Structure 1
Amino acid sequence: MSLRFHWFLPTNGGDGRHVVGGGHGLAPGGSGRPADVAYLTQVARAAEDNGFTAALTPTGAWCEDAWLSTAMLSQTTDRLKFLVAFRPGVVSPFLAAQMAGTFQNMSEGRLLLNVVTGGESHEQRMYGDYLDKDARYRRCDEFLEIVRRLWAGETVDFHGEHLSVDAATLGQIPDPIPDIYFGGSSPAAGIVAARHADVYLTWGEPPDAVAAKIAWIRGLAAEQGRTIRFGIRMHTITRDTADEAWAEADRLLAGIPADTVETVQEGLRRSESEGQKRMIALHNGSRDKLEIYPNLWAGVGLVRGGAGTALVGSHEQVADRITEYAALGIEEFVLSAYPHLEGAYWFGEGVLPILADRGLWTDERPRRRRHTLVPFAAAGR
């Protein structure tokens, strides 16, 4: 088994040398590096050059549109795939299936999809979506059934509780069919994941909690006669030594004002997302005891919604934690760092070679010709 590693494109307010907050209905904090095509191309190429398979682009009112951003970046990169997050409540299933077909065919197969049902009703209403959370999951189930059938080449007649199509036939069937990534910690989310997900994504909780979630989803999928791969979303602070890594974590923490933490946590506590509630429970808004498991740090979640934990340590220690998660059944890792550009190199040059030596990761980058610095050096031997 070769693990797959993905990076993150910071379209959520930009990038910088400090934690950029926001998410789950909160406005992003300050950054310093804009989320423009020029900078995001640097991040995407850094991910591509360091052996990452794909890059996740988030969705929501707090960030740039993922479809448009990645379509642009597909033209400034060569091999990197794009894990496009989108919300089924703001686009029709036929249009989404058609968009995926166009993207996949015009990018030569570089599309993956992260379906996000939407955890915050007040944010969903900004898009004109007035369903409650449970209804959003029922609609998502209908949405994915229609999309899957369209991708299978069917002519679809469907009349559900929330969605209906008549004689729908897709002309742009994606080749290959993009994998669907899906997350969620509520019972309603588990049902949709079991029926439709190729990869179930969880945020970076301690191994025992992750193992319980894997067992839960695996059991639900088995009831549907399906198997699912598992992935995890977290940040990284990896350095040559553990002291350097924890010094960087301390620097990031020092750059977070106490009043900002209070304001952000007040907003996040209103979240309807079960996953967000689990993230908050890891730190409870306190700066104390943020290392919640060896090399697992909850400091990012003080000001950022969504993924709130980071792997912190030497390259060897971070590789050890990844090996531990892999032993539980995690096959895909969606990672990030601050800043994302430099972080791709820290992880790609520091951790991936260790995992390759352990037989856990295969470098699929095309081999490059190596030129001698002195062309005629051999002649003098």
Structure 2
Amino acid sequence: MSLRFHWFLPTYGDSRNLVGGGHGVATAATGENRAATLEYLGQIVRGAEQLGFDGALTPTGAWCEDAWLTTAMLASVSRRLRFLVAFRPGLLSPTLAAQMAATFQRHSGQRLLLNVVTGGESAEQRAYGDFLDKDGRYARTGEFLDVVRRLWHGETVSHVGPHVTVEGARLSRVPDPIPPIYFGGSSPAAGTVAAEHADVYLTWGEPPHAVAEKIAWIRGLAADRGRDIRFGIRLHVITRDTADQAWAEAARLLDALDPALIQQVQRGLARSESTGQRRMLDLHGGTREDLEISPNLWAGVGLVRGGAGTALVGSHAEVTDRIEEYHALGIDEFVLSGHPHLEEAYWVGEGVLPELRRRGLWSHPDGDQDLVQPSEIPFAAAAR
């Protein structure tokens, strides 16, 4: 099966430098910021589609624009690109979530993917009116997804549980196809939910040996339940024609970081309840030293950004080597991003993806035809 590659929509803003934020810390840019307008995000969507990305992850949280609304508005400026929409169970009813997903699936032409984010920061959850602790949130997520899947399969659902209660719930129209569930998490509670409900388990970019351990863990839990799961990885990327050029760009990004900003963000992230976030922090220890934690794997992004904090850095061939290495462990989907997202999409799409195609690991979703021209994309003119 051909590898799948997804890009990222920076709905909190973009920059030629690193943009920090997420996981309970405020958004902060270290240079001139590009606003997350529909016009700019539309450029990224069209570029990613032309280059051959399968989908685009859109984040959720207080630090960014709403993922559902943003992607619904962007669906009309693209033809094929799917939208990996992040959302948090517990902030809306499972019946409404199932209905929204079904509506999105119909109106977008079956282009919805769902990234379920349980929420690792209690302070942010409380701001949204959610006062469960972390374990309670994961338990609720399991109940929530059970109800949602039953509704998608056309059942009439009555459910009374510790966290979710619905009576006589039913959808007038079910989604076809049912959108796949992407799910991540490093805690024992997260593993249980992933094994029972995820179609694709996502891990943040850790060294290969750590990723292999996670895959074995989740694969074992899923097998115990008679399920088979695909695996994906979330990484940033800095790729150039030569390794020296790529590492020079990583050095430029690092040099632009204000030490005071690093300290501020690290203090905020240290309060995170997320096991995955603690694993990210352990990779760099909050210092600028020894940030290449594995060949071509750089932890500098995590100095100012919560969540995914590592980047593949190197020549196109080297980045392809690392992708092939992760694939050998069992990773089939790669959710990538860069700074700025528009330009880095082209570095990846014109450098790494063709190398993967030469190695027989990837094929363009549109086949071997030329890049789609803007005039061929419905409503493209309206988004210019």
Q: Does TM, scored on the shorter chain, surpass 0.5?
A: yes
CA distance in 1, matches of 2:370, 2:50: 15
Q: Does 1:17 align with 2:16?
A: yes
CA distance in 1, matches of 2:63, 2:25: 7
Q: Which amino acid aligns with 2:229?
A: I
Counterpart residue number, 1:116: 117
CA-CA distance at 1:89 after TM superposition: 1.4
* 1:328-367 to 2 correspondences below 5 Å: 328-365=329-366
Q: Which amino acid aligns with 1:175?
A: D
CA distance in 2, matches of 1:14, 1:365: 29
CA-CA distance at 1:172 after TM superposition: 2.8
CA distance in 2, matches of 1:267, 1:369: 46
Counterpart residue number, 1:176: 177
Q: Which amino acid aligns with 1:2?
A: S
CA-CA distance at 1:173 after TM superposition: 1.0
Moved beyond 4 Å, runs of 4+? 366-370
Q: Which amino acid aligns with 2:117?
A: V
Change (3 A) 1:24 1:369: closer
CA distance in 1, matches of 2:169, 2:228: 28
Counterpart residue number, 1:249: 250
Q: Which amino acid aligns with 1:265?
A: Q
Counterpart residue number, 2:271: 270
TM-score normalized by the length of structure 2: 0.95
CA-CA distance at 1:25 after TM superposition: 1.3
Q: Which amino acid aligns with 2:16?
A: R
**SS class of match (2:307):** coil
TM-score normalized by the length of structure 1: 0.96
Counterpart residue number, 1:8: 8
Counterpart residue number, 1:215: 216
Q: Comparing both chains, which one has the higher relative contact order based on Cα–Cα distances under 8 Å and sequence gaps of 6 or more?
A: 2
Deviations, residues 97-133 of structure 1 (Å, cap 9, x unaligned):
0000000000110100000000000000010000000
CA RMSD after TM alignment: 0.9
CA-CA distance at 1:365 after TM superposition: 1.6
Q: Does 1:188 align with 2:211?
A: no
Q: Which amino acid aligns with 1:230?
A: F
CA-CA distance at 1:157 after TM superposition: 1.0
Counterpart residue number, 2:374: none
- Larger deviation: 122-131 or 28-37? 28-37
Counterpart residue number, 1:309: 310
* Number of aligned residues: 369
- Larger deviation: 167-176 or 294-303? 167-176
**SS class of match (1:225):** coil
Deviations, residues 167-215 of structure 1 (Å, cap 9, x unaligned):
1111131111100000000000000000000000000000000000000
Deviations, residues 211-243 of structure 1 (Å, cap 9, x unaligned):
000000000000110000000001000000000
CA distance in 2, matches of 1:32, 1:138: 39
**SS class of match (1:56):** strand
Q: Does 1:205 align with 2:209?
A: no
Identity of matched residues, %: 69
CA-CA distance at 1:78 after TM superposition: 1.2
Q: Which amino acid aligns with 2:322?
A: R
CA distance in 1, matches of 2:9, 2:365: 21
Structure 2 residue ranges without an equivalent (≥5): 372-384
Counterpart residue number, 1:29: 28
Change (3 A) 1:369 1:195: closer
Structure 1 residue ranges without an equivalent (≥5): 371-381
Counterpart residue number, 2:381: none
Q: Which amino acid aligns with 2:4?
A: R
Q: Which amino acid aligns with 2:228?
A: T
Counterpart residue number, 1:289: 290
CA-CA distance at 1:367 after TM superposition: 5.3
Q: Does 1:106 align with 2:113?
A: no
CA-CA distance at 1:366 after TM superposition: 5.2
CA distance in 2, matches of 1:133, 1:92: 19
Q: Which amino acid aligns with 1:253?
A: L
